[in-house]
Amino acid sequence: MFFRHFLGERAQLNVVLADPPRSVLRNTRLFLIDAGQKHLDELTGLLGRLAPDTPAALVNINPEQAEKLIDQYPNIRGVFYSHSTREQLLSGIEALLEGGDWLPRPLMERLLSQWRRMRQLAESKASLTLREREILSLAGKGLSNAEIAEQLCLSPHTIKSHIHNLLRKIGASNRAEAAFMLRDRLDWPDPCHA
Protein backbone atom coordinates (compact mmCIF):
# COMPACT_ATOMS: atom_id res chain seq x y z
CA MET A 1 0.00 0.00 0.00
CA PHE A 2 2.83 2.41 0.87
CA PHE A 3 4.53 1.72 -2.46
CA ARG A 4 1.33 2.42 -4.41
CA HIS A 5 0.85 5.61 -2.40
CA PHE A 6 4.47 6.62 -3.01
CA LEU A 7 4.06 6.21 -6.77
CA GLY A 8 0.82 8.16 -6.76
CA GLU A 9 -1.90 8.41 -9.37
CA ARG A 10 0.41 10.11 -11.91
CA ALA A 11 2.24 6.88 -12.54
CA GLN A 12 -0.74 5.09 -14.19
CA LEU A 13 0.79 1.77 -13.19
CA ASN A 14 -0.72 -1.50 -12.13
CA VAL A 15 1.32 -2.43 -9.05
CA VAL A 16 1.09 -5.92 -7.61
CA LEU A 17 2.84 -6.86 -4.40
CA ALA A 18 3.74 -10.53 -4.34
CA ASP A 19 6.10 -12.98 -2.72
CA PRO A 20 9.15 -13.64 -4.91
CA PRO A 21 8.29 -17.29 -5.74
CA ARG A 22 4.82 -16.30 -6.96
CA SER A 23 5.97 -13.10 -8.62
CA VAL A 24 7.31 -14.74 -11.78
CA LEU A 25 4.29 -13.78 -13.85
CA ARG A 26 4.17 -14.18 -17.63
CA ASN A 27 2.97 -10.66 -18.41
CA THR A 28 5.14 -8.74 -15.93
CA ARG A 29 6.96 -5.92 -17.70
CA LEU A 30 9.20 -4.92 -14.80
CA PHE A 31 10.14 -6.31 -11.41
CA LEU A 32 10.82 -3.73 -8.72
CA ILE A 33 12.84 -5.39 -5.99
CA ASP A 34 12.98 -3.64 -2.63
CA ALA A 35 16.52 -4.31 -1.51
CA GLY A 36 16.20 -2.42 1.77
CA GLN A 37 17.47 -4.40 4.76
CA LYS A 38 18.27 -7.44 2.60
CA HIS A 39 21.63 -9.16 2.53
CA LEU A 40 23.45 -9.72 -0.74
CA ASP A 41 22.74 -13.49 -0.51
CA GLU A 42 18.99 -12.88 -0.38
CA LEU A 43 19.13 -10.54 -3.38
CA THR A 44 21.22 -12.93 -5.48
CA GLY A 45 18.81 -15.74 -4.65
CA LEU A 46 15.85 -13.65 -5.72
CA LEU A 47 17.50 -12.38 -8.90
CA GLY A 48 18.59 -15.91 -9.74
CA ARG A 49 14.96 -17.04 -9.78
CA LEU A 50 13.96 -14.46 -12.39
CA ALA A 51 14.18 -15.31 -16.06
CA PRO A 52 17.40 -13.82 -17.54
CA ASP A 53 15.46 -11.58 -19.94
CA THR A 54 13.06 -10.24 -17.28
CA PRO A 55 13.83 -6.56 -16.61
CA ALA A 56 14.39 -5.80 -12.95
CA ALA A 57 15.06 -2.66 -10.94
CA LEU A 58 16.60 -2.52 -7.49
CA VAL A 59 14.93 -0.06 -5.17
CA ASN A 60 16.21 1.14 -1.81
CA ILE A 61 19.68 -0.30 -2.36
CA ASN A 62 23.10 0.91 -1.30
CA PRO A 63 25.76 1.65 -3.95
CA GLU A 64 28.09 -1.21 -2.96
CA GLN A 65 25.37 -3.84 -3.30
CA ALA A 66 24.19 -2.34 -6.59
CA GLU A 67 27.69 -2.49 -8.12
CA LYS A 68 28.13 -6.15 -7.19
CA LEU A 69 24.72 -7.19 -8.46
CA ILE A 70 24.69 -5.24 -11.72
CA ASP A 71 27.93 -6.95 -12.80
CA GLN A 72 26.40 -10.36 -12.11
CA TYR A 73 22.85 -9.86 -13.42
CA PRO A 74 22.52 -8.08 -16.79
CA ASN A 75 18.73 -8.02 -16.49
CA ILE A 76 19.05 -5.31 -13.81
CA ARG A 77 18.02 -2.31 -15.87
CA GLY A 78 17.34 0.15 -13.06
CA VAL A 79 18.87 1.13 -9.74
CA PHE A 80 17.31 3.49 -7.22
CA TYR A 81 19.35 4.27 -4.13
CA SER A 82 17.57 4.74 -0.83
CA HIS A 83 17.82 8.53 -1.14
CA SER A 84 16.09 8.62 -4.57
CA THR A 85 13.19 11.06 -4.74
CA ARG A 86 9.65 10.21 -5.79
CA GLU A 87 10.20 12.10 -9.05
CA GLN A 88 13.37 10.14 -9.81
CA LEU A 89 11.56 6.88 -9.11
CA LEU A 90 8.61 7.81 -11.35
CA SER A 91 10.82 9.03 -14.19
CA GLY A 92 12.99 5.94 -13.89
CA ILE A 93 10.08 3.52 -13.91
CA GLU A 94 8.65 5.25 -16.98
CA ALA A 95 12.03 4.96 -18.74
CA LEU A 96 12.32 1.29 -17.78
CA LEU A 97 8.81 0.48 -19.01
CA GLU A 98 9.71 2.11 -22.34
CA GLY A 99 12.67 -0.30 -22.65
CA GLY A 100 15.39 2.03 -21.38
CA ASP A 101 17.76 1.91 -18.43
CA TRP A 102 17.87 4.03 -15.28
CA LEU A 103 21.10 4.11 -13.32
CA PRO A 104 22.57 6.64 -10.88
CA ARG A 105 25.31 8.75 -12.45
CA PRO A 106 28.24 7.35 -10.38
CA LEU A 107 27.25 3.80 -11.28
CA MET A 108 26.84 4.73 -14.95
CA GLU A 109 30.29 6.39 -14.93
CA ARG A 110 31.88 3.26 -13.45
CA LEU A 111 30.21 1.00 -16.00
CA LEU A 112 31.19 3.30 -18.84
CA SER A 113 34.78 3.36 -17.65
CA GLN A 114 34.78 -0.44 -17.42
CA TRP A 115 33.34 -0.70 -20.94
CA ARG A 116 36.02 1.63 -22.29
CA ARG A 117 38.78 -0.48 -20.70
CA MET A 118 37.30 -3.65 -22.17
CA ARG A 119 37.07 -2.04 -25.59
CA GLN A 120 40.68 -0.89 -25.37
CA LEU A 121 41.74 -4.41 -24.42
CA ALA A 122 39.79 -5.86 -27.34
CA GLU A 123 41.55 -3.44 -29.68
CA SER A 124 44.87 -4.35 -28.09
CA LYS A 125 44.20 -8.02 -28.68
CA ALA A 126 43.51 -7.34 -32.33
CA SER A 127 46.74 -5.40 -32.73
CA LEU A 128 48.95 -8.22 -31.45
CA THR A 129 50.55 -10.46 -34.03
CA LEU A 130 49.91 -14.20 -33.90
CA ARG A 131 53.43 -14.75 -32.58
CA GLU A 132 52.95 -12.13 -29.83
CA ARG A 133 49.68 -13.77 -28.83
CA GLU A 134 51.34 -17.15 -28.65
CA ILE A 135 54.25 -15.81 -26.59
CA LEU A 136 51.92 -13.95 -24.22
CA SER A 137 49.84 -17.09 -23.78
CA LEU A 138 52.95 -19.08 -22.81
CA ALA A 139 54.22 -16.27 -20.57
CA GLY A 140 50.79 -16.24 -18.91
CA LYS A 141 51.31 -19.90 -18.05
CA GLY A 142 54.49 -18.97 -16.18
CA LEU A 143 57.12 -19.97 -18.72
CA SER A 144 60.39 -18.04 -18.74
CA ASN A 145 61.82 -16.41 -21.87
CA ALA A 146 64.28 -19.30 -22.24
CA GLU A 147 61.49 -21.91 -21.91
CA ILE A 148 59.33 -20.08 -24.44
CA ALA A 149 62.30 -19.79 -26.81
CA GLU A 150 63.03 -23.51 -26.54
CA GLN A 151 59.38 -24.47 -27.10
CA LEU A 152 59.03 -22.20 -30.16
CA CYS A 153 62.52 -22.84 -31.57
CA LEU A 154 63.47 -19.18 -31.32
CA SER A 155 66.26 -17.35 -29.54
CA PRO A 156 65.67 -15.88 -26.06
CA HIS A 157 66.56 -12.46 -27.52
CA THR A 158 63.71 -12.79 -30.07
CA ILE A 159 61.28 -13.70 -27.28
CA LYS A 160 62.45 -10.71 -25.25
CA SER A 161 61.90 -8.46 -28.28
CA HIS A 162 58.37 -9.81 -28.85
CA ILE A 163 57.50 -9.34 -25.18
CA HIS A 164 58.82 -5.78 -25.26
CA ASN A 165 56.65 -5.02 -28.32
CA LEU A 166 53.48 -6.55 -26.92
CA LEU A 167 53.90 -4.76 -23.58
CA ARG A 168 54.15 -1.47 -25.45
CA LYS A 169 51.07 -2.26 -27.57
CA ILE A 170 48.78 -3.06 -24.66
CA GLY A 171 50.23 -0.56 -22.20
CA ALA A 172 51.39 -3.05 -19.60
CA SER A 173 54.51 -2.51 -17.51
CA ASN A 174 55.51 -6.19 -17.27
CA ARG A 175 54.56 -9.62 -18.57
CA ALA A 176 52.55 -10.51 -15.46
CA GLU A 177 50.42 -7.38 -15.86
CA ALA A 178 49.94 -8.13 -19.57
CA ALA A 179 48.85 -11.69 -18.84
CA PHE A 180 46.50 -10.42 -16.13
CA MET A 181 45.00 -7.74 -18.40
CA LEU A 182 44.32 -10.27 -21.14
CA ARG A 183 43.68 -13.30 -18.90
CA ASP A 184 40.29 -13.99 -20.49
CA ARG A 185 41.73 -13.72 -23.99
CA LEU A 186 44.84 -15.89 -23.84
CA ASP A 187 43.29 -18.86 -25.62
CA TRP A 188 43.43 -17.48 -29.14
CA PRO A 189 42.74 -19.69 -32.14
CA ASP A 190 45.16 -20.01 -35.05
CA PRO A 191 48.40 -20.81 -33.24
CA CYS A 192 51.68 -19.99 -34.93
CA HIS A 193 53.74 -22.80 -36.30
CA ALA A 194 57.50 -22.48 -36.61
What is residue 152's predicted lDDT score, i.e. its pLDDT? Answer: 95
The average pLDDT across 14-39 equals 68
Q: Assign residue 18 a region: left if phi > 0, alpha if psi is -120 to 50, beta otherwise?
A: beta
pLDDT band at 23 (very low <50, low <70, confident <90, very high): very low
Mean predicted lDDT score pLDDT of the chain: 80
Is 165's pLDDT higher than 60? yes
What is residue 191's predicted lDDT score, i.e. its pLDDT? Answer: 47
Is 137's pLDDT higher than 70? yes
pLDDT digits over 84-128, tens only?
A: 888 898 899 989 989 999 999 999 998 888 888 777 766 655 678
The average pLDDT across 6-22 equals 57
The average pLDDT across 24-32 equals 71
What is residue 128's predicted lDDT score, i.e. its pLDDT? Answer: 84
The average pLDDT across 63-71 equals 88
pLDDT digits over 1-12, tens only?
A: 445 556 655 555
pLDDT band at 131 (very low <50, low <70, confident <90, very high): very high
What is residue 4's predicted lDDT score, i.e. its pLDDT? Answer: 58
pLDDT band at 188 (very low <50, low <70, confident <90, very high): very low
Is 52's pLDDT higher than 60? yes
